[in-house]
A and B are shown apart, each in its own frame.
Chain A
């Protein structure tokens, strides 16, 4: 078939002039998106913390711009440092989840697992954690004990120790019960330099299990929605799983834990950092029926919903089968699946082949996913 016949069969506009005009607009938008980011707002809004575009702009325009150095510029989940003769990964993360206790976990194990995971996806063996607590006046000591015990249990499970810490108490109303910051260091013993910028056309993109469990659990646990579903947080340490993948596929290009902003955000980070296209297939993305149902009701796309025990990995296309079997052999990766491929087309853009059989793009989220009204 000629291109025109193909176009007609596939329902493309025959009006070349219009297609060209639209393409010019798309190119102009692409240029606008590549411009240096600038925070236009005068004050911080909730969008700046939601993991989407506003967060990215804030990080790049304020933090990266001010602290600029080669280690930070990589914008990976951990910084990779050389200390003496060793390669070390260093990361930090703060936890402000509400409610503090939710099905499947609490702020304590989240604070340990989150930092363990940031180290793990850098290819490091997590070793030591710090813990900083900001406590609100009036916070029940019994709750604090419970949180700290679950931190200890999570640390034991991940094989790390909490070796230093800090405590601050603020007046009632100045915080919401308990906030935790953890930082962690790990040793990179393998000869790998993982990073989404190394993704190449032909690579496979893998997710280690069903997505969106944590985010939906938290939304429902807040009790504002009057929706009940049998879901619990997927919070878990990923060090075992990440090591299993690296053992099976030493040429793994990148790993990311799919927290705030969900899998969609990571796919966009891959497309942007490596200047490649990403083509994902909706049918291949594992989502639990309960999570999908809740997301449908709320008008939210599970691809943007946070996970706390799932990672996205980029591996060379030829290693995809081996990578998936290695992940599936681990208890946390039983439902691992290839969800997409890296392409050379339309660099910077993530496209999704929908279950319905159409195509669309998957962009970074602007702010928190806002529920649609009708």
Chain B
């Protein structure tokens, strides 16, 4: 299939893997963080780690939109959904995220009207079709999904729609990366930069990472060869003593981002003074809220939102996993108390969460796998 198969070519992967291996300095260990959960998903889904030499470790980062939503916000959303005449709409990823009293799925089973949508524009459609209901869109995600929320509010405003609002949980990627860089627990050699976020914000916002922290960044696409290619580019930078922001995903990511999308975000949303991130705590200027000009679309103003902060379950080590300090399997409850069926932490919910990706795709002894593959010759 065009535009897919060429990015999954095993021969090219072997060639690239050999070039990566050739760049490894003997005795040196390399740690790269893939910031984006989409990358984590790709790495596990395609078994990319089989191509990496032992000295390169990939550390999974915080860029999973669902994983960073704190429990209190889920509780707030379920509270909103339970209000009279409300139809709550949400992306599918969000449906299983546990609040302190269950998930959207559980609330739905108890009769709350929660519907899965593929785009916030679908919520708008539902609002038009149900003029006597109040339709709320659970807006989550980084700058990747914020423009579609923004465009939806703009369209709702243009149409004069009065029964639609947004429960805004959009977050921004740079403060999260900064929090990781400032964290004393982690030594990284570079970043595989988020691809889809960068289609919106471009590559310039990462310049401080190279300038102030001395870490290279390569913005990468989401096919396995994209990621392998970006690891090669990072290794080349280290080998050549460079420290730069590079763009492996230039077929989609313009250096300066997408001005139309940025304008839509700027028009409808502004930075919050602070926002709570699951496992990472409160990070200042790290999330977006609806601007006053669009206050009529702000569910936090149209409804009473409890806004109670709920502490993460004690056993849950999502924060450490999100920061890359712990590997998923190193969490105490991984795979036993916390599984995709009964997640305790958010990282086990979204297919982009590091724990879910490892549990669903990587939960195996690679040594034995390779022996089997060799023996069966497939």
Contacts and interface: CB of A to CB of B under 8 A. Distances in A.
B369 A359 contact: yes
B61 interface: no
Given A14-B54, A279-B376, A359-B47, A225 B118 contact: yes
Interface stretch (A70-78, A135-143, A174-182, A341-349): A341-349
A28 B336 contact: yes
Contact of A343 (B13, B41, B145, B376): B376
B367 A359 contact: no
A354 B10 CA distance: 9
Given A224-B122, A299-B351, A363-B360, A356 B8 contact: yes
A367 interface: yes
A193 interface: no
Nearest to A47: B105
Given A14-B54, A279-B376, A360 B46 contact: yes
A32 B45 contact: no
B52 to A, nearest CB: 5
A216 to B, nearest CB: 14
B202 interface: no
Contacts of A40: 342
A341 B370 contact: no
A277 B367 CA distance: 15
Nearest to A371: B92
A22 B329 contact: yes
A44 B108 CA distance: 10
Nearest to A287: B1
Contacts of B116: 370-371
B65 A357 contact: no
Interface in B1-48: 1, 4-5, 8-10, 13-14, 17, 21, 38, 41, 44-48
A41 interface: yes
Nearest to A23: B365
A164 interface: no
A125 B361 CA distance: 39
Contacts of B13: 356-357
A373 B361 contact: no
A358 B49 contact: yes
Interface in B94-131: 95-96, 105-106, 108-110, 116, 118, 122
B142 to A, nearest CB: 8
B50 A359 contact: yes
Contacts of A69: none
B54 A41 contact: no
A40 B98 CA distance: 14
B368 to A, nearest CB: 6
B50 A351 contact: no
B368 A359 contact: no
Interface in A320-356: 341, 343, 345-346, 349, 351-356
Interface string A72-91: 00000000000000000000
Interface stretch (A3-11, A106-114, A155-163): A3-11
A62 interface: no
B267 interface: no
A346 B372 CA distance: 10
Contacts of A26: 329, 335, 363-365
B57 to A, nearest CB: 8
A272 interface: no
Contacts of A292: 1, 4
A314 to B, nearest CB: 16
Interface string B310-348: 000000000000000000011000111001111000000
Nearest to B95: A370
B122 A357 contact: no
B18 to A, nearest CB: 11
Contacts of A353: 47, 373, 378
B340 A366 contact: yes
A279 B378 contact: yes
Contacts of B96: 366-367, 370
Contact of B91 (A10, A224, A367, A373): A373
- Central interface residue in A43, A351, A358, by most chain B CB within 10 Å: A358
B207 interface: no
B186 to A, nearest CB: 17
A343 B363 CA distance: 17
Interface residues of B, number: 76
B105 A359 contact: no
Nearest to A18: B327
Contacts of A341: 376, 378
A351 B48 contact: no
A96 to B, nearest CB: 17
A277 B372 contact: yes
A61 interface: no
A45 interface: yes
A285 interface: no
Nearest to B117: A224
Given A8-B54, A281-B378, A355-B10, A32 B336 contact: yes
Contact of B93 (A11, A44, A372): A372
A374 B224 contact: no
B287 to A, nearest CB: 17
Contacts of B255: none
Given A12-B367, A289-B1, A373-B141, A25 B335 contact: yes
B288 to A, nearest CB: 16
A130 interface: no
B371 interface: yes
A19 interface: yes
Interface of A: 7-8, 10-14, 19, 22-23, 25-26, 28-29, 32, 40-47, 53-54, 57, 224-225, 277, 279, 281, 289, 292-293, 296, 299, 341, 343, 345-346, 349, 351-361, 363, 366-367, 370-374
19 contacts: A7-B54, A11-B49, A11-B51, A26-B363, A41-B109, A45-B108, A47-B105, A224-B122, A343-B376, A354-B45, A357-B10, A357-B51, A358-B47, A358-B48, A360-B364, A361-B364, A371-B91, A372-B351, A374-B142
Interface of B: 1, 4-5, 8-10, 13-14, 17, 21, 38, 41, 44-54, 56, 65-66, 91-93, 95-96, 105-106, 108-110, 116, 118, 122, 140-142, 144-145, 196, 224-225, 329-330, 334-336, 339-342, 350-352, 359-373, 376, 378
Would you list the 3 A-B pairs with minimal beta carbon distance, nearest first? A358-B47, A357-B10, A370-B92
Given A346-B365, A357-B13, A363-B359, 9 more contacts: A25-B330, A289-B1, A351-B369, A355-B5, A359-B50, A359-B366, A363-B360, A371-B116, A374-B141
